[in-house]
Amino acid sequence: MSRRARLVFFAVAAPALAVALGVGLAGLPSFGSQLSAYARMLNELAPRQRHVTDVVSAISFDYRGIDTLFEEFILLAAVAGISVLLRPLSDETRELPADKAPDRAIPAPSPAVWLLAVLLSSLLALTGIETVTHGQLTPGGGFQGGVILASAIYVVYLGTNYRTVERFQPAPLLEAADGTGAAGYVVIGLLGLLAGASFLSNVVGLGGPGNLLSGGTIWLLNLVVGVEVAGSFAILAAEFLDQTAVIRTRRP
């Protein structure tokens, strides 16, 4: 496209975008305005109906649970796509740099970095589990906790080297976590059908409000989503790390 054609295209598209945005923004509730009727209703109903203290979790995993199901599968599809795209191509090989110079060892990290990684990775694993399991009580949940769990593996890499972190992320385990997590969401949804209600109905015992085991399927769904997201983000990091560390162009 020539420069002139692009300018003409921009001159038409920019005002159209400005008008569409302006109309949309004008329709927004004003800053600091009162809560919408829907928000007020859910704030009132969710703690009593679902025994949760974090209403956002009740919306994303119960009232709007089907939306989150699709989001899970978007993440699954995205990670599967990245795994396919970042595989070693026919003109690439997968070898450690050490294979070329066996006499040179990988330098060990400084003790301070190593200690920081040990402390931080265990702390991240704990925070991740806490965030996943308390999704129905406090802000957070399966997605946020899952990413924090996966980041514990990243920290292991920062404090050690590729060889060590490879042992922490066996590909079959990560892929199984990704798949069973996503499938688990569907299975929990089917529990509703088995109980004679509709798909994704909250048919498990609700427990006492404010307890760790409360919210029925909301708690269970947070758990499977946490497993899936942790697997997904660990695969994501492993694929990118492989590209950087061990996949190189085959020399003719």
Partner 1 sequence: MNEAVIAVALAWVTVSGTAVVLTSDPLRQAFVAGFFGLGLAFLYLSLQAGDVALSQIVVGAIALPLIVLLSLAKVRKDRE
Binding site for partner 1 (CB under 8 A): 54, 56-57, 131, 138-141, 143-144, 147-148, 150-151, 154, 233, 236-237, 240-241, 243-244, 248-249
Question: What is the rounded CA–CA span in Å between residue 140 and residue 133?
Answer: 9
Smallest distance, partner 1 to C-beta of residue 102, A: 21
Closer Cβ to partner 1, 131 or 202, answer by number: 131
| Residue matched to tokens 């396919």 | 84
Smallest distance, partner 1 to C-beta of residue 144, A: 4
Token pair, residue 135, equals: 């999704």
Smallest distance, partner 1 to C-beta of residue 217, A: 18
Closer Cβ to partner 1, 92 or 175, answer by number: 92
Q: Which residues pair with 248 in a beta bridge?
A: 93
The single-letter code of the amino acid at 196 is G
How many residues does the structure list for the chain? 252
How far is C-alpha 115 from the geometric centre of its chain's CA atoms? 27
Task: Produce one character per residue of 50-71: b if its CB has 16 or more CB atoms within 10 Å, e if not.
Answer: bbbbbbebbbbbbbebeebbee
Please give the full DSSP string across 105-116, using - where no structure is assigned.
Answer: PPPPPPHHHHHH
Smallest distance, partner 1 to C-beta of residue 96, A: 14
Contact 146, 223 (CB under 8 A): no
Closer Cβ to partner 1, 63 or 143, answer by number: 143
Smallest distance, partner 1 to C-beta of residue 238, A: 10
Closer Cβ to partner 1, 154 or 185, answer by number: 154
Closer Cβ to partner 1, 132 or 220, answer by number: 132
